[in-house]
Structures are given as structure tokens and as C-alpha cells.
Amino acid sequence: MNNATSAWISRSVDRLRPAKGKAAAAKDKPGDGPGELQSGRSTHERLAATLRRGGEALSPRALRQLLAQLQDVLAPRVSEIEGGRRAQAVATWYGQAEPAQRRDLWLLMGEQFVPDAARMKNAQQRYQAALGTADEPQAEAQLRRALNSPRTRLLQRFAAFPEGMRFLVDLRAELLPHLKADQCLLPLEAELEQLFSTWFDVAFLELRRLSWDSPASLIEKLIKYEAVHDIRSWDDLKNRLDSDRRCYGFFHPRLPNEPLIFVEVALADEISDSITPLLDESAAPSDIQRASTAIFYSISNTQAGLRGVSFGDSLIKHVVETLQQEFPRLRHFATLSPIPGFRAWLQKNCATQLELLDAKRLAELGRAVGFEPKGAKDLPAQVLAAADKALELAPRSALRQLLQQWAARYLARELQDGKPLDPVARFHLGNGARVERLNWAADPSAKGLKQSFGLMVNYLYDLKRIDKHRDLLAQAKVPVSGDIEDLCRP
């Protein structure tokens, strides 16, 4: 490694290295195993060392050898094919490495293949000075080139061999859980996300229908990746692929047998208010010639390594277009969706919500849950305990009515950074839907009760108002139906 290279590595590593406080100091304790706490030394320090410190997986010599292999992948006169072959050799090593050794590869990629800090700083200064002048376009182009890191080219070489894309997606999936505790990994993760956003753009994806006639290996992946309503058996799966159902997935040419995301659709004559009939294996198929409504009742992402890469809005648009071509009578497109964050939100905010009730409603609720005035501070706990038996509540129950009201407020009013707090709401509302209707006891499963006391919600995709709904959400206003708006009122 020449002096110039050492200099820019040193500068860049210093820029990326987190401050060494108590957490970093704790990593330097002797005797820490490689699978537990890690050494606080950067790869630059370790490469210059002779001995391995406690908590470091690879010795300095082994680390230098691994760095040399990565540098060989990027050798200037190496062809794309040869570079990919060398990258594949590193990937083979990675597949056999221990978790702590894999982390050392991540650190090398993150710390040793960074932009030239001096060049980047100079380009930024020239760009700032050129703003508003005739030199601005040229300065911007130079800045973009300066921001390109050798890491980008390295990752592109890994994507070149046949299983390279699979390798990179799995690598990021393994890396993501470590980001909060290990900020040194942030640049590598950010670069992977940026590359994936380009490589997995919808322009490169293919929408395919999955049916009972699809290859068995592909159908098995539906069982594996289903994230909303677990597929209990082959009969359950066959029901979801019956004549009145459709299942579509997005596929990438470099991952030809892996759906990146898939959606399950039921064709019906009205918006569904319960998941039970849709999952009933003994129910006769609906008459698809009379269907007027498409119900999206399950959408599952399959690749943890593609977190942050958005497919959902494009998937729904493509599916709607495909369904309209096959079934011109379809007029309504809606979901039957879980509310996964509702119970957790209410557990945290129940006392605050109770304070908003007037004396009459508070008394009605108290009678419903067996509350006595002397135990006022215990009312939130009593309410939550009674809500555990939500399926037994009568239609006119004060608690049942309040649970629906609170769910409506949670979906329509609770925002974080201008976006819905609930993750499923964030997805559909971000795609232009509106909150249409709450459905009581719509998911009586253990999972449904645990998430939202059995409540589910319909999000409606009004094709003529999707842009309007997006504009509202951009103003931190959740688009809702009149019924939901009424529920939100005190």
C-alpha cells in the first residue's frame, strides 16, 4: 500500500470512526470472544499491527490477506468477468466464515474503500463557489465524480458473478441488525441500499402471476414468506390460489425464482369485512364474472436485505392494471389489512385517551369494565384487561365503541415525522389510499387479537383520487372516509 493510499485511508477512516466513549472502551476489554464484544480498533490500525487484540476475529496478517483479495477484485486491468470470478472467491470464503470474521469483511469494505476525502472536500468547495455561475454544471459533475467511492465499484464486481446479487442481498440482510450498535457499518449499508434502489428499480422487474400450476419450488416460497396470515396447510394455499383468487409477485432477472414481494387478491362483489371467509378452505369459489371488487388481503416482502427499497406502490399499480384487463367489471380496489401497532399504542396511551372522555362516557366505561371510583388510577389496566376479551363485547358495549374510536384516531391522527405511525397504514396511505372502514372482530386469530383486539381496516384505492390523497398526506393530513372522520370526534 503506497503512502498516498495510506494517507487518504487514514483521513477517511478518521472521518467515519465513531467517538470512543464508554461503549467503545468496553469493546477493548481483554478476553472478549469474537462472537461477543468487538475490538475498538479500526481496520487501518489493525492492518498496521502485528498481534491480534482480544475480540478481533482475524489476525492482522489474515486481515491483510483478505484486503489484498478485495483489492485484486478491483485491479485496474482486470476484466469484468475476471473481477467477478475473484469476487466469487471472496464470497465462497464468506460463506464458510464465522459471524465475527464476516464482520471483518464488512469493516474492510466500509473503511478501506472510501472516497478520497481531500478530493471530495475540494470538489465541495468548488461547487459551493460556482453556485449561480456558468461554472456550476461542471462543478456539480466534478463533485459527483469525487463522491463516487471505490466501494461502489467493488460491490458492482460482486454483482457480476451468477450468484452475486443473491450474495449481496443476503449480506445486507445479515448486516442490518448490527447497525445500531456498530456505526462503522453505516457507509457500507447505505451504499448497498443506494445500489439496490437502482438495480431493483421497477423498470427491471417483471410482474408474474403465481398459480397452483406454478413450479412447486416457487409455491413453497409463498408458504415461507407469507407475513400477514400464516399459510397453515397445502389446502390453505390451494384456497388462496383458487379460481376466484389471484396472486402476483415482482421478480428480478438476477433472482429469477425468488419473488421480491407478492400480493394475494380475492375477487368479490363487495368490500370484505372479515378475513375468516377469505381463509375458509371449505368455502365455494365466488363467481368471478360478477366480481366488482378486488380485495388485497396480504402483501409480503420476502427479502430482508432489500429493506428500504420500495416495490409496493408499483406492485399495486401493476396488479390493478392487470386485473382491469382481465376483469373489466371491477370497479373497487380495497384492502383488508391488519393494524399491527394498535394494541402497543393503546397500552402506552390509554390513560391519555381516558382523560379525553366526559363524565358520562367515563361512567359508562367504568360500569362496562367493573371500575370503582376508589381505583381510578387502575382504570387503564382494567380497560386493557377487559379489551383482551374483545370478541365477547356486545355491539352497544361502551368499551367496544371506544376501541373502535381509538383505532380510528390511531390510524387517522397519530403521525411521526408527518407519516402514519402504523406501518401498514404508512404503506397504503403513502401509495394514495384512504382509510375507509374499521371492521370489528375481522381477525379473531391469536395474532389478530394480539395486534389489534381483532380489528382490521379497509384502505380504499380510489383511482381518481390517488394523487389527491398523496397530496393530503404530504401536508400531514390522513385521507379518511366520512365514517372514520366521525369516529375520530370526541
The residue written with cell numbers 443473491 in the block is: 166
For residue 55, give the amino acid letter. Answer: G
Backbone angles phi, psi at 294, to 5 degrees: -110, 125
CB 480 within 8 A of CB 458: no
Q: Which H, E and C letters describe 158-215, residue by residue?
A: HCCCCCHHHHHHHHHHHHHHHCCCCHHHHHHHHHHHHHHHHHCCHHHCEEEECCCCCC
DSSP string, 336-377: -B--TTHHHHHHHHHHHHHHTS-HHHHHHHHHHHT--GGGGG
Query: 453 in helix, strand or coil?
Result: coil
Query: 268 in helix, strand or coil?
Result: strand
For residue 428, give the H/E element and its range: helix 423-430
* Helices of type H across 200-311: 216-225, 234-240, 275-278
CB neighbour list of residue 179: distance below 8 Å, 6 or more residues apart: 185, 186, 189
For residue 107, give the amino acid letter. Answer: L
CB 265 within 8 A of CB 297: yes
Backbone angles phi, psi at 415, to 5 degrees: -120, 155
Question: Could you confirm whether 44 is annotated as catalytic?
Answer: no
CA-based nearest residue to 214, from 260, 247, 239: 247
Rounding to the nearest 10 degrees, give the CA dihedral for residues 364, 368, 373, 379.
Answer: -110
Question: Could you confirm whether 337 is annotated as catalytic?
Answer: yes
| Annotated catalytic residue, options 272, 428, 452, 469 | 428
CA-based nearest residue to 243, from 315, 297, 299, 291: 291
Q: How many C-beta atoms lie closer than 10 Å to residue 405's C-beta? A: 20
What is the spatial distance between Cα 158 and Cα 167, in angstroms, rounded to a whole number?
Answer: 8
CB 69 within 8 A of CB 109: no
**28 DSSP 8-state letter:** T
| Annotated catalytic residue, options 337, 445, 452, 481 | 337
CA 318 to chain CA centroid, Å, is: 20
Q: How many C-beta atoms lie closer than 10 Å to residue 304's C-beta? A: 13
Active site members: 337, 428
